[in-house]
Chains A and B, each alone.
Chain A
Amino acid sequence: MSAGTETVVYTETAARGRTMSLSTRNTIFRALCLSSALLVLAVLAGILLSMVIGGWPAFRAFGLGFFTGSAWDTQSDQYGAWPAIAGTLSSAVIALAIGVPLSLGVAIFLTQLAPRWIRTPVATAIELLAAVPSIIYGMWGLFIFVPLFAEYFQVPVSNVTEGLPIVGTILYARSPTGLGVATAGIILAFMIVPFIASIARDMLAQIPTVLRESAYGIGCTTWEVVRYVLVPQAGVSIIGAIMLGLGRALGETMAVTFVIGNANRLSTSILDPGSTIASRIANEFNEAIGLQMNALIATGCILFLVTFVVLVVARLLVARMKAV
C-alpha cells in the first residue's frame, strides 16, 4: 500500500512541467507492458505453429508410427522418432540421477556446513560452471572424459556384467568406445548442477535462521535439521530448480552430439551409443531434403511437447505441495 502511494508521489513530481496527463501516461505504460507480454505469447505460438506445419508431412505419412517406429532410413524415406525420444529421456534421467543429489549436496554444504571463508570461492566456481559454453563441455567430454570413461568404467563394468541377466543388457558395452547414452548423461549432469545448486542455495539461505536454531535447540542433528526442517521448507522451489535443470538436459544439443555416439538405433544398454532429438537435428539438418527435413522438424515438435509436459507436471507438483 505504502509503495503505491510513493509511486504516485514520484510520478507526480516527474510529471510536473510536462504536457501529457497522468492518465495518458499510465495508459501508454499499460499498453507497452501488455504488448511485451503478448509478443512473447505470439512468438511461442508462432514457433509451435511453424513446427507443426513443417512437421505435418511426416506426421501424416507415418501417423502414430512416427512416435513408436524405430527406423530412421533416408534411403527408403522411413522415419520413426522412438530411438531419439528414448535417448532424450534416458540421458536426461541419468543426468538428474547424478546431478540432483550432487547439487543438493553442494547447496546444503554451502548454506549449512561450510566455513565462511570457503563459501564465496565455491559458490563463485559453481556459478562460473553455468557460464561455460556447452561446446566446451562437449570438447572436454570427447577429448578428456570419453577415453577415461572407456578405460576405467566401460571396460571393467562390461567385463563383469557380460552375460548376466538384466544388468548384462543395461550395463554392457558391445564396443567400449567411451561414447554412449551414459556418457551424455554424465556430461549433462555437470551442466545442470550449477542451475540446480545455485537456486537451491538461494532458497535454503532464505529460510529464517530462527527455524534452524530452534531445531538445533531441541537437540536435532544436522541431518535431522536438513531432512525435517530445511528440505520441507524449500521443497517447492527445489522441485522448480530440478525442472529447470531437466529442461536444459532435454534440449542440450552440442555437448550431447559430441559424446552420445550418434547411433540412430535402439539399444537396451546405456553404455551403447544412441541419439537424442536435439543431437539428431544438429547432425542431419544441414543436409536434409524432402521428407527427412519434415521428419526432423516433427521430432523438434515432439521435443517441444515433451518439454511443455515436463513444465506442466512441475507446475502441478508445485501447486500440490503448496496446497499441502
Chain B
Amino acid sequence: MKFRTLAAIAGIGMASVGMAAAADITGAGATFPFPLYSKWAEAYKAATGNGLNYQSIGSGGGIRQIKANTVDFGASDMPLKGADLEKDGLAQFPSAIGAEVPAISVPGIEARQLKLSGAVLADIYLGKIKKWDDAKIKELNPDLKLPSAGINVVYRSDGSGTTFVWTDYLSRVSDEWKTTVGANTSVSWPVGVGGKGNEGVTATVKQVPNSIGYVEYAYAKQNKLAYALIQNKDGKYPVPEIESFQAAAVNANWKEAPGFGIILNNQPGEKAWPVTSATFILMHKKSDKPEGSAAALKFFDWAYANGDKLATDLEYVPLPANVKDQVRAVWKAEIKDAGGKPLF
C-alpha cells in the first residue's frame, strides 16, 4: 500500500519533470539580467505556454555552460572578444541595457547634487584623492559644502559584470587606471572595502558615512541611495534615467565589434549617461539541438517585440529599435542547425 503510493508520487513527479524538460528553454549565466529574464519568461509562458528555465549562476558560469553545450543559451555581462567567439563557434547579441551610478553617503549632500568627472572618480578609486574636500572635487562643485572627511571607497567583492562595466569605464577615462588596475569582473583594488553583491555594497555605503560605491541604477533607485552625477564625453552632466541610458546606446556603432560586443561606456552624445552597458546572450552558431536554439530565438524575438514595457518597469533599458533589427538580421544569417538551415 505504502509502496504503491510512493510509486505513484514518484511517477507523477517524473512525468511533470519530463513534461517541463520537453518544453522549457534552458539558459544560464549573468545575475544582473536575472530579474528581467524571469519577468519576460513569466509573460512569455502566459502568452505562448512555453517556459524558460534560467539559472543565474554568474557570467563566467554562463560562458562555461554554453561552451559545454548544456544549455540553449548562455548569458554574460562581459562581451566575449571576436577571437573567442570564433574559436567556440558562438554567436553573441545584446538583450537589454543597464546603467550604473556612483552611490554616495556624504552628510548634507543629496542625490544628483555632487558632480564628478571620470578622471576624479578614477583618482578616488586609485586612492589618490583621499578627502571629500579635495581641491579637484571642489573645483567641480564650487557651490557645495564638502566635509573634510576621508573617502570610504566601496567595491563589489564578488566577481561581477557590474565590476567589469565600472572598471572598464575607469580604464577609458584614466590611463593610470588602465595600466595599473585594468578592467575585469574582479580586479585588484588599490583601496577600499568590498561588499558582497549589490546588497553588500548598498549596506556599506548606507551605513558608513562619507562612502562612495558603484551600484546598478535600479538598485540605487529602489534603495533610495544618494548618487553623484558623472561628466560625460561631451562635458555635460546628464541625469541618470531611461532616456540618457538609451542615448548612450543609440549613438554607439554596434556594427563595429564582432557579436555586438561593444561596451557603451563613455559614448558621445550630449544626453548619454557615461556608465552604461548591454548584457549579452551567447548561442552556438551551428546548433546540435536545433529545437532548443530555435525556441530560444523565438523567445528573444518575442521579448524584443513585447518586453520593452516589462523591462522599463524593472529599470532596464530596452534596446533601440534599429539595434533589434540588426540583431534579428544576424540571427537569420548566422544561427543554423547542423545541416546549415537557418533557425530563425
Contacts and interface: CB of A to CB of B under 8 A. Distances in A.
B290 interface: no
A284 B159 contact: yes
A287 B208 contact: no
Contacts of B266: none
A48 interface: no
Nearest to B188: A73
B184 interface: yes
Interface string B280-307: 0000000000000000000000000000
Contact of A287 (B59, B182, B189, B211): B59
B174 interface: no
Q: How large is the interface on B (under 10, 10 to 19, 20 to 34, 35 or more residues)?
A: 35 or more
A118 interface: no
Contacts of A288: 60, 159
Contacts of B321: none
B193 A175 contact: yes
B208 A177 contact: yes
B60 A177 contact: no
Interface stretch (B199-207, B236-244, B331-339): B199-207
Interface stretch (B36-44, B150-158, B217-225): B150-158
B208 A150 contact: yes
Interface residues of A, number: 33
A287 B60 contact: yes
B179 to A, nearest CB: 10
A264 B64 CA distance: 25
Contacts of B64: 289
B330 interface: no
A261 B158 CA distance: 11
B310 interface: no
A247 to B, nearest CB: 23
Contacts of A75: 181-184, 187-188
Interface string B133-158: 00000000000000000111110011
Closest 10 CB pairs of A and B: A287-B159, A262-B194, A286-B58, A262-B157, A75-B182, A287-B60, A261-B193, A287-B185, A273-B193, A283-B158
13 contacts: A74-B188, A142-B200, A143-B207, A147-B208, A175-B151, A175-B191, A177-B211, A263-B193, A282-B158, A284-B158, A285-B159, A287-B58, A287-B186
